[in-house]
Structure 1
Amino acid sequence: MRLSLIPLGTACGAPSATAGVPLALGLSAVALGLAWLTLRLVENPVRFHRAFRRRPRRALVFGAALSVGASALSFTATAVPPTIETGAPAPALARTLADAPAPRARLTELLASSPTALPGNLLPPLPQVRSSRSAVYRDGCHADYAATGTRPCVYGDRTSSRTVVLFGDSHAAQWFPALQRLATTRGWKLVSLTKASCKVADVTIVSGHQPYTACDTWRSHALARIRTLRPALVVVSSSDAGDPARPAADPLRQWTTGFESTFRALGTSGARVAALLDTPWPQGDPIDCAARNSLQLRACARPVPDAFRDASRRGALRAAAATTGTTVIDPTPWLCAPRTGICPVIVADTAVYRDDSHLSEAYAEALAPVLAPSLDRLAGTP
């Protein structure tokens, strides 16, 4: 079976940095040589051909025809991309977990038997995984870098007396599909408060080579709003990436203190707090890798602990949670096979990631039954 191929970037697992000055100089020399050859062997022979001498109109028509032909080929290549090989259909992840008596145990089985070839029934298709975004993005509810105020983004049952808040950066927003599904079935009022690269911990990080003070201001406003909401539960999460603008001699203590500050502030709202640890990160771009290795998906998988962006940051969150009564939820067993520690990029019929660090919308939503028991208990859902 064949599937349309998306445009590809860097090969999966390839280093993002340049290989050094010698390689760059060598490639430049090769490019210069090829340019000289094409000038001597192609361009000049055509340009000075006797058919075009003293016939500028003919030369212009020929040039225009070449331009039109090149454009037509480009448009054709875009409209009809190459194809990649796919394997047999896989179980429907969302339906399988929803129907399973023990969703987490069933997910563990699916992780252990993740497909080695791109499933022919991948949903959504590989070219659409990157562009599929949840309502929190479509509605403009995920604050951008410059924003300092919060927006009234409410989902689920807006009249419900039980409010659940999602708070953090884009690694919190990636869980919105799961929380929206739970809010709909449980009758929660779901309030989404997320901002690009804004950490949960009260630590000023660097963004654009400057202290990310807009994040600090937004975080203060978000915490104040949460206090007025008096929610039953606040679900927090943020990426383990990001460097402090003022590094401390003891980074672990700095991050632990930052998490403690935010967790205590959330506690003043009367809510229970659930902190989702950052999800394991894939190896490079998982969509490009799956396209390049469609029949050998194991080449794209990454093992634990290599998939952790910053293990010490995870330790800081756990330490802060222990002193503030915050519940920690580790999603690693939902993305990586517990026995082998391998984190695949495709589970059943669903892509796990949409880019080099975020869950795909489809995978996050499919995990709702797995996330539900912990949140039901904390939110007091009957």
Structure 2
Amino acid sequence: MKKIDKKPYLPTAANISDDKALPFTDGCQQNLDSAEVKICEYGATKNYDATVALVGGSHSTHWHSALLKIAEKHNIRLVNMTKAGCRLSTGKEGLPKCDEWNEHIIGKIAEVKPDLVFTTAEISYFNIKEVPQGYIEQFEALNKLGIQVFGVRDTPYFRNHVPRCIEEFGRDSKECAIEKVLVVPDVTDWSKLKNPPANVHYYDYTDHICPDTLCRPVIGNVVGYYDTGHLSVSFVNTLVPYIEEDLIPLLNKVKKK
């Protein structure tokens, strides 16, 4: 039987580390050293039908490319309001600039007047067993403003730097994969909440990232991560149909209220 060669993975090894969402590279994600809330617009910036605000840290930012494609297709203004190392939370994590940023972010979101805020709804660290109270407090603050939240489950972390591991051991190596049970709890932290904020709509795309018992560095022929914990643009773009299927009906629903 003739051996069938696998398709080359995308992006190529030389380009994986650069396969990042635009705010990482165009200056629109705030850095670690500033508390200023940066606001950048993408998609439809005039005569738009709706506004989605992407808010939080880098695990929010890496969804940007999918949201941008959806925004361009559906005449949506996409507003990026993210900061490196800073989740949407009132929790004090010893990062003064993050704490200060969070003191101002709700007011800035109110000025943007989004129909939806897209952000992470929990933290994927295995030593964290519940949704932080600081998250809940920020969600409730948005609820008081009548703003709905598209909350995504946080993405898992690999133990190895994915591109370097692939380059050293190969795309199918055991060294570069990790058992799903080690990085993805069976029960989501969000599902443990007895009274989740009424304005938060929770979505989980983990089964697309880790479709079986292993989280693999290459899904199909696309490299999932450009480091240990951030999704590549190439992979996020494969999830556009799933996110679009969830986001557009919700957006149409909240716009009618």
Per the normalisation by structure 1, the TM-score is 0.60
1:172 corresponding residue in structure 2: 60
Q: Is the 8 A contact 2:35 2:98 kept in 1?
A: yes
- Alignment correspondent of 2:213: 341
Give me the whole-angstrom Cα distance separating, in 1, the residues matched to 2:244 and 2:29: 23
2:104 to 206, 217, 221: 221
1:124 aligns with 2:20: no
Read off the aligned partner of 2:207 and give its amino acid letter: P
Answer whether contact 1:202 1:262 (CA < 8 A) is retained: yes
Within the alignment, does 1:195 sit opposite 2:87 as a pair?
no
Report the residue type matching 2:248 in the other structure.
D
* TM-aligned CA deviation for residue 134 of structure 1: 2.3
Which residue in the other structure is 2:50 paired with? 162
Q: Name which of 118, 125, 137 aligns with 1:235.
A: 118
Q: Secondary structure at the match of 2:36?
A: coil
Deviation per residue, 1:317-345 (Å, 9 max, x gap)? 862872434111112111112xx321111
Q: Superposed, which structure 2 residues align to 1:205-354 within 5 Å?
A: 205=93, 211-237=94-120, 239-241=123-125, 255-294=131-170, 296-308=172-184, 314-315=188-189, 319=193, 322-337=196-211, 340-354=212-226
> What RMSD in Å do the two structures reach over aligned CA positions?
2.7
Work out whether residues 256 and 317 of structure 1, in 8 Å CA contact, stay in contact via their aligned partners in 2.
Answer: no
Q: Which moved more, 1:299-308 or 1:196-205?
A: 299-308
Letter in 2 for 1:231: P
Shift of the 313–168 alpha-carbon distance from structure 1 to 2, 3 Å rule, reads farther
Structure 1 residues 321 and 256, CA gap change in structure 2 (3 angstroms)? farther
In 2: Cα distance, 1:252 partner to 1:348 partner: 31
Q: In the alignment, is the contact (CA less than 8 A) between 2:124 and 2:157 conserved in 1? A: no
Q: Which amino acid aligns with 2:213?
A: G
Matched-pair contact (CA < 8 Å) for 2:65–2:236: yes
Q: Which has the larger radius of gyration?
A: 1
Gaps of 5+ in 1: 1-86, 91-120, 206-210, 244-250
Q: Structure 1, residues 203-233: CA drift from partner, whole Å, max 9, x if none?
A: 111xxxxx21211211222211111222111
TM superposition shift of 1:242: 11
What residue is the counterpart of 2:24 in the other structure? 137
Q: What is the 5 A alignment of 1:352-367?
A: 352-367=224-239
Once the two structures are superposed, residues 51-97 of structure 1 have per-residue CA deviations (whole angstroms, 9 ceiling, x without a partner) of xxxxxxxxxxxxxxxxxxxxxxxxxxxxxxxxxxxx8243xxxxxxx
Provide the C-alpha distance between the structure 2 equivalents of 1:320 and 1:144, rounded to a whole number of angstroms: 35
Aligned length: 249
Task: Say if 1:146 and 1:214, in contact at 8 Å, map to a contact too.
Answer: yes
**How far did 1:138 drift?**
2.1
Given that residues 293 and 299 in structure 1 are in contact (C-alpha distance below 8 angstroms), is that contact kept between their aligned partners in structure 2?
yes
- Asked if 1 retains the 8 angstrom alpha-carbon contact of 2:171 and 2:217, the reply is no
CA distance in 1, matches of 2:146, 2:50: 12
